[in-house]
Chain A
Amino acid sequence: MRPLDWFAMAFALAGLVLYGLWRSRGSNTTSKYLLAGKTMPWYAMALSIMATQASAITFISTTGQAYVDGMRFVQFYFGLPLAMIIIAAVAVARFHHSGVYTAYEYLERRFDARTRALVSLVFLIARGISVGVALYAPSVVMTVILGWPDRWTTLLVGSVVVAYTVSGGIAAVTWTDVLQMCIMTFGLIAALLTAVWLMPADVSFRQAIDVAGAASRLNPLVWRLDFDDRYNIWSGLLGGMFLMLAYFGCDQSQVQRYLTGKSVAQSKLSLLFNAVAKIPMQFFILFIGAMVFSFYTFEKPPVLFKQDDMARLQQRADFAPVQRRFDEAWTARRDAARALPEQGAAFRRAQSDLDGARAEARHMAGGVNDTNYVFLSFVTRYMAPGLVGVLIAMIFGAAMSTISGEINSLATVTVIDHYKRFYRKNESDTHYLVASRWATAFWGLYAIITAQFGKSMGSLIEAVNQLGSLFYGGLLGVFTLAFFFPSATGAGAFWGVLIGEGVVFAVRYYTDIAFLWSPLIGGATVVASGMAISAMTRKPAPGAPRA
């Protein structure tokens, strides 16, 4: 990074924090701190929802995924518009009119206190598992780029997030997210323009598209149904819909966003904006990855994008033949790319040789996966001075928006669903405001400390991320019972969640079914077992004939 990049990064990050704090001044009651006094306009909630979902690692890996696997990942979001319609039509008004602070508070009104306690505990476990990883995972990548020790990176990002989240509450989180989304959009457009601009003068935009297409990178739609494959239209529409229903309808980190709305209509609009904008945005991010692929067809990439692994390999004598194979394959691919479509077969053959050389290099480096480094490598090598700083700030910002949303929601559930409900019921508003700030600081500190152990987690990170998603089936099932099954009882909901979670974990560990289907399997089990138990435990109405 050059001095201008450091300046741009520091300016963008300081601007983010100061803007959030300025917009959140006066958060001096529990309602203002946790729900922004229900004053948020739809566009702020909409962008905040989008920013919270776009974590840094998702961001970095999405472009890398298009580079190595094409654009089919976009299908993961096909269920999102349908989920948003269902949530807007069914859940938003109920949450708003019941005057709750958390989604789980609603469950006590519908069922009983133990169901609320269980489900909010499930949320705390699921989010508690992921919050440290959300902080650590991007730090690893940034460490490689910036050369800082990962402990310092996690400490820096964590401290900044804790500072503005503790101080300004949900209003600071939301308004910071708005600015983060603006920086992300600017950074993405700059990245795409750079990739296209830096193509050789004799390569047109249409040729760049043909190159990506010839390598099967332009494949946003796959019709083939395969339960073991995460990304096809069916898993996206059905599995994705249930996953998004659980995430946006039952996860407090998202529900809390639209609970801050000025009105039911504003909250609905914030969700429906995401229904319209999310898929094109993901398509755009993936298209950048595809264009980076085309760019590297004419500009030679490193064999591996992770610099430290690449430097180690270059010290080894047995790497020279692999490098030679890679160079020959790249040259053959570049020459064939200039003569597409006639040289399509030669292009694919060279691509296959290139993939083979890269696979061998990855194996020699200990089985590393360098997908997350493709985009960052491109940014730091080729983008203009100043823009690199903006892009790095964008990735830090994406991490910060996710983490701030998570610690804010964890603190809200801790205070509202546990501390206030079970320990200190009748304290003043100031007491709960102070408790909320302490809880936010606690979860922030917890995230920083658990992130310090990230290095020893190693390859467990992906497993830990997927483990968090296994809890969505229980959450989705119990809210389905609450909204759609008037005859469901508290006992049915409580035991249904436990049975549903048991089934989800059994399916996860004893079958190969992709994790995208977990919410559907878990949710269906909760509903079926919950209704069966409700039927068995329902008390007969007074005066009803006994069998």
Chain B
Amino acid sequence: MNQEEPPPVLGSWSRLYWGIAVYLVLLIVLFDAFTRAFNR
């Protein structure tokens, strides 16, 4: 592999970075929902 080789998912490194950022936001939303649903 060389530096320009794309990642195995999402086609480009910048898209993969954005994908992980969106994933983090989703995790936070899920944790917020989890806390609201179960923590009393």
Q: Does A461 contact B (CB under 8 A)?
A: no
Cβ of A490 to closest chain B Cβ, rounded Å: 28
Cβ of A69 to closest chain B Cβ, rounded Å: 12
Q: Does A93 contact B (CB under 8 A)?
A: yes
Q: Do A233 and B28 form a contact, CB below 8 Å, given A213-B39, A214-B40, A263-B2?
A: yes
Contact assessment for A85 and B1 in the assembled complex, using a CB-CB cutoff below 8 Å: no
Complex contacts, A220 vs chain B, CB 8 Å: 31, 34-35
B contacts with A, residue count (CB < 8 A):
22
Q: Do A219 and B39 form a contact, CB below 8 Å, given A233-B28, A264-B3, A265-B7?
A: yes
Q: Does A218 contact B (CB under 8 A)?
A: yes
Size band of the interface chain A makes with B: 35 or more
Q: Do A213 and B24 form a contact, CB below 8 Å, given A74-B31, A265-B1?
A: no
Complex contacts, B28 vs chain A, CB 8 Å: 78, 221, 233
| B5-28 interface code vs A (CB 8 A; 1 in, 0 out) | 101100001001100110110011
Complex contacts, B8 vs chain A, CB 8 Å: 269
In Å, the complex CA distance between A269 and B1 comes to 12
Contact assessment for B20 and A81 in the assembled complex, using a CB-CB cutoff below 8 Å: yes
Contact assessment for B3 and A221 in the assembled complex, using a CB-CB cutoff below 8 Å: no
Complex contacts, A219 vs chain B, CB 8 Å: 35, 39
| A59-92 interface code vs B (CB 8 A; 1 in, 0 out) | 0000000000010001000100110110011000
In Å, the complex CA distance between A320 and B20 comes to 55
Complex contacts, A184 vs chain B, CB 8 Å: none
Complex contacts, B39 vs chain A, CB 8 Å: 70, 213, 216-219
Complex contacts, A283 vs chain B, CB 8 Å: 31
Q: Does A127 contact B (CB under 8 A)?
A: no
Contact assessment for B31 and A81 in the assembled complex, using a CB-CB cutoff below 8 Å: no
Contact assessment for A279 and B27 in the assembled complex, using a CB-CB cutoff below 8 Å: yes
Q: Does A301 contact B (CB under 8 A)?
A: no
In Å, the complex CA distance between A221 and B37 comes to 12
In Å, the complex CA distance between A219 and B38 comes to 8
Q: Does A275 contact B (CB under 8 A)?
A: yes
Kindly identify, within residues 338 to 364 of chain A, every residue whose CB is under 8 Å from any CB belonging to chain B: 341, 344
Q: Do A262 and B34 form a contact, CB below 8 Å, given A214-B40, A268-B7, A269-B7?
A: no
Which chain A residue shows the least CB distance to B29?
A: A221
Complex contacts, B34 vs chain A, CB 8 Å: 218, 220-221
Complex contacts, A276 vs chain B, CB 8 Å: 20, 23
Complex contacts, B32 vs chain A, CB 8 Å: 221
Q: Does A525 contact B (CB under 8 A)?
A: no
Complex contacts, A275 vs chain B, CB 8 Å: 20
Complex contacts, B35 vs chain A, CB 8 Å: 218-222
Q: Does A327 contact B (CB under 8 A)?
A: no
Q: Does A272 contact B (CB under 8 A)?
A: yes
Q: Do A263 and B31 form a contact, CB below 8 Å, given A81-B24, A84-B20, A209-B38?
A: no
In Å, the complex CA distance between A10 and B34 comes to 40
Contacting residue for B13 out of A89, A218, A262, CB 8 A:
A89
Cβ of A321 to closest chain B Cβ, rounded Å: 31
20 A–B contact pairs at CB < 8 A? A74-B31, A81-B21, A82-B21, A85-B21, A89-B13, A96-B3, A213-B39, A218-B35, A220-B35, A221-B28, A263-B1, A264-B1, A265-B2, A265-B3, A265-B5, A269-B7, A269-B8, A272-B7, A275-B20, A279-B27
**A residues touching B (Cβ–Cβ < 8 Å)?**
70, 74, 78, 81-82, 84-85, 88-89, 93, 96-97, 209-210, 212-214, 216-222, 233, 262-266, 268-269, 272, 275-276, 279-280, 283, 341, 344
A216-B39, A263-B1, A266-B1 are known; give 13 further A-B pairs, CB within 8 A.
A81-B20, A81-B21, A82-B21, A85-B20, A89-B17, A218-B39, A233-B28, A263-B5, A264-B2, A265-B5, A268-B7, A269-B7, A269-B8
**B residues touching A (Cβ–Cβ < 8 Å)?**
1-3, 5, 7-8, 13, 16-17, 20-21, 23-24, 27-28, 31-32, 34-35, 38-40
Listed from nearest, the 7 A-B pairs whose CB atoms lie closest are A213-B38, A263-B1, A220-B31, A218-B38, A221-B31, A265-B1, A264-B3
